[in-house]
Amino acid sequence: MRDSSVWQRFIGQPAALIGALFLLLLGLLAVTAPWLCQGSPWEMNTTPMLAPFTQAGHWLGSDMLGRDLATGLLYGARVSLSVGVLATLATLLTGLLVGALAGYFGGWLDAVLMRVAEFFQIIPQLVLAVILVAVLEPSLGTIVLAIALVAWPAVARLVRSEFLSLRQREFVQAARVLGQAPLAIVFRQILPNALAPLLVTLSFVMATAILTEAALAFLGLGDPDAMSWGYMINASRGMLRDAWWMSLMPGLAILFCVLAVNRVGEGLRIAFEPARRPGDST
Amino acid sequence: MSGVWFLGARLGRALLMILGVLVLSFLLVRLAPGDPAQLMAGEAGVDDAQYIAKLRSEMGLDQPLPQQLLHYLGQVAHLDLGYSYRNQAPVWDLLSERLPATLSLMGSAFVISSLFGVALGALAALSRQRRRWLDGLISNGALLLYGTPPFWLAMLLIVLFSVKLDWLPAFGMQTVAADLSGFAWLGDRLRHLVLPCLSLSFLFLALYVHLTRAATLEALQQEHVYTARAKGLAPSRIVFAHVLRNALLPVVTFAGLQLGQLASGALLIEVVYSWPGIGRLMYDALSQRDYSVLLGGFLLISVLVVGFNLLTDLACRLIDPRIGAEGAAR
Amino acid sequence: MSAAQPILLDVEHLRIALPSGGDRSHALHDLSLHVREGECLCVVGESGSGKSMLAKALLRLLPAPLKIEHGTLRWRGEDLANLDEPAMRALRGRDISMVFQEPMSALNPLLSVGRQIDETLQAHGVKDRAQRRARVVELLGYVGLPDPERLYHAYPFELSGGQRQRVVIAMALAFAPKLLIADEPTSALDVTTQRQILDLLRRIQREQGMAMLFITHDFAVVEAIADRVLVLQKGHYVEAGTAAQVLGAPQQDYTRQLIAAVSAAPDHPRPTLAPGKPVLQAQQLEKHFSRRLGWWGRRTTRALAGVDLQLAEGETLGIVGESGSGKSTLGRCLVRLLRSDGGSLHWHGRDVTDLPEARLRGQRGEVQMIFQDPFASLNPRQRIGTQLMTGPLAQGRSPAQAAEKAREVLGLVGLPETALARYPHEFSGGQRQRIGIARALAVEPKVLIADECVSALDALIQVQILELLEDLQRRLKLSIVFITHDLRVAARLSDRIAVMQAGQVVEQGATAALLGQPNHPYTRRLLQDFALHAPVLEATP
Amino acid sequence: MSSPAHRHPPRPGPLRLALKRLGLLASAAVFAASVHAAPQDGGVLNLIAQPEPPLLMHGVVTHVSTQYVSGKILQGLLTFDTDLKPKPVLARSWTVSPDGLTYTFELQPDVQWHDGKPFTASDVKFSFGTFYPEVDKRIASVFEEYLDNIDASQPHQVVFHLKKPFAPFLSLLGSGLRPIAPEHLYAGTDFRSNPYNLKPVGTGPFKFEEWKRGAYIKLVKNPNYWKKGLPHLDAIVFHVIPDGSSRAAAFERNDVQVLRSGDADYSDLKRLGALPGVESSDKGWELYSGLAYLQFNTRKPPLNNPKVRQAILYALNRPFIVDNIFFGAGKVSPGAFASSSPYHDPQLPQYGYDLAKAKALIAESGVDVGAVRIRLLNGEKGGAWERLAEYTRQALQPLGFKVQVVTSDAATWFQRVSDWDFDLTYNFIFQIGDPYLVNAYLYRTDYILKTSPFANVGGYSNPDVDNLWSKVADTPEGAERTRVYSELEHKLNDDLPVAPIFEMRYPTLFHSQVKNLLQTATSLNEDYESVYLDAPAP
């Protein structure tokens, strides 16, 4: 019943709905890319530098090696989305763990963890990510690691503050009085209520992750085995004038993807919000 | 008393933070594969092992890592950032030479993004009731800016404004060998600054708009805004003294936190626009494994960010009397 | 006041629509009223009666989607609808002032108190800075604030609730307004402070000849301050008349119920108890809170300073005190939400003072707690059924048993079984408090600690919950510790009462004896403050 | 970032090493511009220093950009024209005794260092007696063996006395890489960290004025230049522009007037070259024959099998690589030695693009090439070299290889290749003159070293080949030598320890108002004394 109402509030927002549908479609295309496109995105299967809409089978044209751009875009969606999702998950897990430890136990542990979080917030994140990826060699794993490593403090702080405030809430105290075990309290009482702000933050993390992956690829630090949008922009930089479409399309893809993630996050926040402030009867 | 205490505590924390950043960056940088001595020798066209060994011992790379770290910390404690063998110059000289470029880029981007961001965000929030279209325009515009990869935007801006339209220069921070002075000099600098500054500003502008709008909307809901209206205050007074002032708190806090990210963004922009700033120096230092410069850059940026955080903390304290006051309760 | 005074404010057929989708179509239906110069009109109603909308509508401050759908508002004969915004602004704060319910949020936390009053003067054209300043200091003194010169620079967070409300009143009085609209100005305050603020308002009204539109839910307050009364129910007019008429001879059932709720005597007189064996014992209970100050400093407050208590089987012990007296801390110590720093605590004769949390968990079933805020005490993201099953499951019952128990306790508190599948936000405050009680009962406790469990509820609902508690106590042989700031409620429910002040129990005894012959000066003062409201003694068995 | 295909740092090594070993930099004298009408004086020439040089004294550091900048400030005794004939610079004339043991140089009189001190024989003696032996161990060992003493008793005459004849001695002294160092500024200092490495003082037509790191290096006209009436330009500014497309944009806007090969992305060359007022030329690089090759780590199976290596080369469509990755900047390499070299055998069997043959070879070898992952180490991010790595991975897939491209930054690449920590990697060397002086280092067993990527890092060791190399060294020029070289080239072509991919072409783009730019074989590094702008900016 509540589910349906959150759901209804979510689909009641056109922007969020469009964003969600876009992401869903993108996800679907990304997952089915191997079946949709012939061959890998690296395969040089047509005339190089084909303009869009000039050859059937390569509707979006090709790059300087004759690689199909449409295939590249779809596989780029795979990279962007998987980096986005994995980095967000890694961020969530780290942030959750650190934030929960700090918020639940408090004291010196809290102080130490929050100082560490501050270090990571102060260091310029992209610079740190660049060095990390350079140190560990570019691969999807290291990119995800680098992004998560610089993004977790925001989540940790949020989780911590939610923990601190929720811990004082009466229903959490009630659960304690009823004898519910601490871990059950965390997972059944506290976390579900921290969900809404968490989701919004995570949507920001995901959008940032997608942009950071693109920036790393732009700096030449992308996974060399992964055809990503940032890579496509970087690879086609010299061709910006001769073949504008080669960098325009991946650029727009990043833009739309980030917008969609952001809209979905915002939509979720609004959908969850009324339940967070119950009873507006006064 | 409490003000001095507050400042002291903050300074202590800031120092601790900088120490942490130093240790962290030191370890990180030293983990990177690639040997600076070998690289330098190769660049100098010398490939005898003896010379490489000599370079390594000159740079202190033959010491165990903890000892190198201690040595480095000791150096920094004496305000000595070390020497760049690659550039044959003290690190501080290299950094200070680049500092004005970075400061002018980051400073102008910060001013533009925060001023316009706050103004537009507040405008959007205040228009929400009467002129929904304006709110929509600003919010969605900000969203577009947020989603646009800055490096991509920078590429497009160069092609449009400097190559096609020939309005603005494409690289560097000044016209070299033009011997300008006075206003012409300033104008030349400003013209060079426009594109890099805008490219860097947009993302943060979007964030400021988003944040200010949310904060203003929340401030508008506050009970004391009703009180202010019930007192018969003029709308302008209500907006500035009772809404924006309160909405500014989270914005100021954010401003402190995002400076590090501004420095990150500056790196990309400095590369695309050939802006001779610290970000690029660090990037080059990374590819040359010029550890001392890399660490010095980290340190300098951390000091900047921490210092700026200190300022925003003080600003918050000025805005909000509750912060730092004894027995503060909300 | 006599009816000969000219009419200041005249409201005719006021109707304010609510946005669609709410539980009601209108905040106010066709309301007419008038206020004469110098008189005090009390508008009484429970939450949701639309009375706050009335206040906001008068100053044209209705929140965004709400609009006056119909009706006229006349100020000294002039239709307010004809005034443009600047003219309306000139009226606000000068001729018509307003005092809000929540002194915490009614003041801008970032501006000094002096500036906030000063800007009212400035807004209405007092140019001279020195003159304004003098007036501000004068006002602060006038509302009874100490050291007004110093207070000028104080920030709201540095003041107590009562002081803040005085500041708000001072602000409203800046220009000696003709009409003061007071929206529940005392309900967020302690009894003692409540009384002081009411005294202050009455004094000002008398001295300034100011009219008051006083909005409240509390008939005790009505009795203290009203010349005339108007009763609202869910936006509908119920009845109106002079204070004497309405209080003395209410015409409508609803009014009668409201009045009865305030002075309510129990339906069933409490049986005299044979002294049973103690189920809950606290000896020299201590609780300290320490807060870091900077790096080295620490400030310690003694929230409980050696409290001795004993609760016998089947007994109700009322614990009464003002906010900050440590009564809530005591409640939390008694259920071991907080671990005490000294003394001992026994549940059914077993020492649980320092029992580790993990071992205590199995015994949690014995002593349960009912919380204050029916909105905050239920997890908004769990179905009622799940929440009711939490306790039994935690105490080791099987899911089937837990589900059975959930149905059973829901029945006990008088809610239908369909509630199990629903979420908290679908219930009213009173229903939620019933669910809270059911949740506590689900683990079959012998002792209930009820912490201010009715203070967030409307008067009529309060009565129902109290009756429910009494009923349950009888049927389930419960022992109850009833923590409240409200002497009336305590008097009505308790066998014995303990009065707390500054972390200590200053007086303890059988209800009738304690209320009849209070020994401690603090108890006497509390009684006095309540006497203003309603005859407390009447309520005692 | 700086689409690093254009970034030379680690790669120009072989050139520098080769030149040092050879002891010469072939460069031609600058002829006064007689073809053009009267040269105009004035104007500022804007160039790009990419990457930013570490120092500005090319006697100490042979970084490409250092040579580019410092070549305009510091001068050597001689330079060399396209036929490797010595031409006078600071040495007005010279004589060699018939026994080849005495070299006498007459120096230009009236030459001043930029700081006003006179240039004398003592500077020359200092440079070759002290400076170069100190900064370059190889020179030290050569001098140890051959040089008896240097006599600088006359102010404008220097005499070198040798212990025994040394044929390339003139080349060694005269090279543009051996500028004369000012004794009064360097004597008694640590040459590598001398402050004048950053603000060089020379005798050349341009004086160092300012180096704003990360932004530009500015040189101004030397008014007291010893050739009267020269130079024409008022100043030369080297801009530091790390990003390839920004360099292209700057050139397009005529903010800079010259793009050296590698300054712009290969993909952009065609468009930029077609811009109005822009000229493109391959001149000025005649002596450097760059060879891009695929380095196998022959220690690692299956790359230890020659058939597998041959199959790989058959599977690479090299014309496609030249046309679509390097956009025509080169031509397919015909063998181990440069096609222009007299020692290259035109009859050498060629590896045309032939996938079927490649598959057949793999089958023949009986090796399961997919058994292990092959790491293709790529040291340059973005740009053509990364594209080439991607292409290779794709092209080898049909043969059953599992190639993983490992991209790292240049520093890591340099270290890992030096340490033999790779399976495949692309590299290039500059072939100059005799293959024995350059190419040999990639093949000889005694060059299996861990010092730089330009040695025999693949670990190829074949006693026959080693013998042939020794034979080449001992055989005087003539038909026999050519025959031995041909035998060697055939051997290498079959063993294929490195796969030659293509010979690089170095187009220079410049706005046509720049005159006299490409006059010699190493023009861009010349001193630009006669370069002028047709319509100098006011």
End-to-end CA gap in chain D: 35
The percent of residues above 90 in pLDDT, for chain A, comes to 5
Q: Which amino acid is at C60?
A: R
Q: In the predicted model, what is the mean pLDDT of residues C252-261?
A: 84
For residue B318, pLDDT over 60 is answered with yes
Q: Please tell me whether the peptide bond between D507 and the residue prior to it is cis, using omega within 30 degrees of 0.
A: no
CATH for D67: 3.40.190.10
Give the start-to-end residue ranges of the domains of chain B. Answer: 3-91, 97-288+301-319
Residue D195 lies in a domain: no
A vs B, Cβ pairs < 8 A, gives 117
pLDDT (0 to 100) of residue D171: 67
pLDDT (0 to 100) of residue C368: 92
pLDDT tens per residue, range D29-61: 333 333 445 778 888 889 888 778 878 888 777
Supply the pTM of this predicted model.
0.80
Report residue A2's pLDDT band, with 50, 70 and 90 as the boundaries.
very low
For residue D191, pLDDT over 60 is answered with yes
pLDDT (0 to 100) of residue D450: 76
Are D104 and D216 found together in one domain?
Answer: no
Q: Domain B97-288+301-319 in CATH: superfamily?
A: MetI-like (1.10.3720.10)
pLDDT (0 to 100) of residue D29: 33
Counting Cβ atoms within 10 Å, is residue D47 exposed (0-12), middle (13-18) or buried (19+)?
buried
pLDDT (0 to 100) of residue C538: 42
Report residue C536's pLDDT band, with 50, 70 and 90 as the boundaries.
very low
Distance, CA of A20 to chain centre: 13
Report residue B34's pLDDT band, with 50, 70 and 90 as the boundaries.
low
Instruction: Classify C336 as helix, strand or coil.
Output: coil
CATH for D130: 3.90.76.10
- Of B43-47, C254-258, C385-389, C521-525, the range with the lowest mean pLDDT is B43-47
Report residue D537's pLDDT band, with 50, 70 and 90 as the boundaries.
very low
Instruction: Classify D454 as helix, strand or coil.
Output: coil
Taking contacts as CB-CB distances below 8 angstroms, the residues of chain B near A121 are: 257, 260
For residue C481, pLDDT over 90 is answered with yes
Mean pLDDT over all residues of chain C? 84
Subunit partners of chain D (3 or more CB pairs within 8 A): A, B
Least Cα separation, residue A56 to chain D (angstroms): 22
Q: Say if CB C379 and CB C400 are below 8 A apart.
A: no
Mean pLDDT over all residues of chain D? 79
Residue D379 to residue D386: CA distance in whole angstroms: 8
Residue C262 to residue C463: CA distance in whole angstroms: 9
Q: In the predicted model, what is the mean pLDDT of residues C504-524?
A: 87
Are D129 and D210 found together in one domain?
Answer: no
Taking contacts as CB-CB distances below 8 angstroms, the residues of chain A near D406 are: 137, 224
Residue D221 to residue D204: CA distance in whole angstroms: 9
For residue A281, pLDDT over 60 is answered with no
- Of A87-91, B175-179, C382-386, D259-263, the range with the lowest mean pLDDT is B175-179
pLDDT (0 to 100) of residue B84: 80
Counting Cβ atoms within 10 Å, is residue B278 exposed (0-12), middle (13-18) or buried (19+)?
buried
Least Cα separation, residue A22 to chain B (angstroms): 15
Per-residue HEC secondary structure of chain A comes to: CHHHHHHHHHHCCHHHHHHHHHHHHHHHHHHHHHHHCCCCCCCECCCCCCCCCCCCCCCCCECCCCEEHHHHHHHHHHHHHHHHHHHHHHHHHHHHHHHHHHHHHCHHHHHHHHHHHHHHHHCCHHHHHHHHHHHHCCCHHHHHHHHHHHHHHHHHHHHHHHHHHHHCCHHHHHHHHCCCCHHHHHHHHHHHHHHHHHHHHHHHHHHHHHHHHHHHHHCCCCCCCCCCHHHHHHHCHHHCCCCHHHHHHHHHHHHHHHHHHHHHHHHHHHHHHHHHCCCCCC
Instruction: Classify C230 as helix, strand or coil.
Output: strand
Q: Among all chains, which residue has been given the structure tokens 């709400």?
A: C66
The token pair at C189 is 């305050």
The percent of residues above 70 in pLDDT, for chain C, comes to 92
The percent of residues above 70 in pLDDT, for chain B, comes to 91
For residue D238, pLDDT over 60 is answered with yes
Q: Say if CB D518 and CB D284 are below 8 A apart.
A: yes
Taking contacts as CB-CB distances below 8 angstroms, the residues of chain C near A281 are: 47-48, 428-429
Q: In the predicted model, what is the mean pLDDT of residues A21-36?
A: 86
pLDDT tens per residue, range C10-46: 888 888 887 766 667 778 888 888 898 889 999 988 8
Q: Do A189 and C47 touch (CB under 8 A)?
A: no
Residue D198 lies in a domain: no
Q: Do D267 and A219 touch (CB under 8 A)?
A: no
Residue B148 to residue A264: CA distance in whole angstroms: 17
pLDDT (0 to 100) of residue B328: 36
pLDDT (0 to 100) of residue D17: 38
Taking contacts as CB-CB distances below 8 angstroms, the residues of chain D near B283 are: 1
Residue D538 lies in a domain: no
Report residue A275's pLDDT band, with 50, 70 and 90 as the boundaries.
very low
Give the start-to-end residue ranges of the domains of chain A. Answer: 2-34+66-91+162-279
Interface probe, candidates D271, D408, D413, D426, chain A, greatest A C-beta count within 10 A: D408
pLDDT (0 to 100) of residue A274: 53
| Residue ranges of chain A whose CB lies within 8 Å of a chain D CB | 40, 42-44, 48, 64-66, 134, 137-138, 219-221, 224-225, 234-235, 237-242
Subunit partners of chain A (3 or more CB pairs within 8 A): B, C, D
Report residue A88's pLDDT band, with 50, 70 and 90 as the boundaries.
very high
pLDDT (0 to 100) of residue C245: 87
Are D110 and D217 found together in one domain?
Answer: no
Taking contacts as CB-CB distances below 8 angstroms, the residues of chain D near B105 are: none
pLDDT (0 to 100) of residue D480: 83
- Of C187-196, D191-200, D272-281, the range with the lowest mean pLDDT is C187-196
Q: In the predicted model, what is the mean pLDDT of residues C364-393?
A: 88
- Of A70-84, B135-149, B167-181, C169-183, the range with the lowest mean pLDDT is B167-181
pLDDT (0 to 100) of residue B44: 58
Q: What is the ipTM of this complex?
A: 0.77
β-partners of residue C282 are C309, C345
Q: In the predicted model, what is the mean pLDDT of residues B295-301?
A: 85
Q: Do A127 and B282 touch (CB under 8 A)?
A: yes
Taking contacts as CB-CB distances below 8 angstroms, the residues of chain B near C89 are: 232-234
pLDDT tens per residue, range D389-430: 888 988 888 888 888 888 776 767 777 888 888 899 998 887
Please choose, from the candidates D56, D256, D240, the residue with its C-alpha nearest in 3D space to the C-alpha of residue B98.
D240
pLDDT (0 to 100) of residue C270: 64
pLDDT (0 to 100) of residue D285: 66
Report residue A80's pLDDT band, with 50, 70 and 90 as the boundaries.
confident
Nearest by CB to A224, which of D245, D327, D407? D407
A3 and C CB contact within 8 Å: no
pLDDT (0 to 100) of residue B327: 39
Report residue B120's pLDDT band, with 50, 70 and 90 as the boundaries.
very high
pLDDT (0 to 100) of residue D32: 37
Q: In the predicted model, what is the mean pLDDT of residues B310-320?
A: 83
Mean pLDDT over all residues of chain B? 81
Report residue D10's pLDDT band, with 50, 70 and 90 as the boundaries.
very low
Interface probe, candidates A104, A166, A170, chain C, greatest C C-beta count within 10 A: A170
Q: Do B47 and D61 touch (CB under 8 A)?
A: no
The token pair at D132 is 């170069």
Please choose, from the candidates A89, A85, A18, A12, the residue with its C-alpha nearest in 3D space to the C-alpha of residue A270.
A12
Are D415 and D293 found together in one domain?
Answer: yes
Give the start-to-end residue ranges of the domains of chain C. Answer: 7-95+175-261
Q: Do B29 and A131 touch (CB under 8 A)?
A: yes
Are D166 and D212 found together in one domain?
Answer: no
A56 and C CB contact within 8 Å: no
Report residue A90's pLDDT band, with 50, 70 and 90 as the boundaries.
very high
State residue C477 phi and psi, 5-degree precision: 55, 50
Q: Do D390 and A240 touch (CB under 8 A)?
A: no
Taking contacts as CB-CB distances below 8 angstroms, the residues of chain B near C105 are: 222-224
**Most confident segment among A76-80, D36-40, D432-436:** A76-80
- Of A113-117, B56-60, C482-486, D346-350, the range with the lowest mean pLDDT is B56-60
Provide the domain limits for residue D142. 78-186
Do A and B touch, 3+ Cβ pairs within 8 Å? The answer is: yes
Q: Do B172 and D241 touch (CB under 8 A)?
A: yes
For residue B116, pLDDT over 90 is answered with yes
Q: Say if CB B116 and CB B207 are below 8 A apart.
A: no
Please choose, from the candidates B54, B35, B210, the residue with its C-alpha nearest in 3D space to the C-alpha of residue B121.
B210
Report residue D11's pLDDT band, with 50, 70 and 90 as the boundaries.
very low
Least Cα separation, residue D15 to chain B (angstroms): 9
For residue D288, pLDDT over 50 is answered with yes
pLDDT (0 to 100) of residue D524: 65
pLDDT (0 to 100) of residue B240: 86
Are D329 and D379 found together in one domain?
Answer: yes
pLDDT tens per residue, range B248-289: 888 888 888 788 788 888 888 888 887 888 888 888 887 777
pLDDT (0 to 100) of residue D31: 37
Q: In the predicted model, what is the mean pLDDT of residues D10-20?
A: 37
Please choose, from the candidates D98, D161, D79, D88, the residue with its C-alpha nearest in 3D space to the C-alpha of residue D128.
D161
Residue C381, number of CB atoms within 10 A of its CB? 23
pLDDT (0 to 100) of residue C275: 67
C7-95+175-261: CATH topology is Rossmann fold (3.40.50)
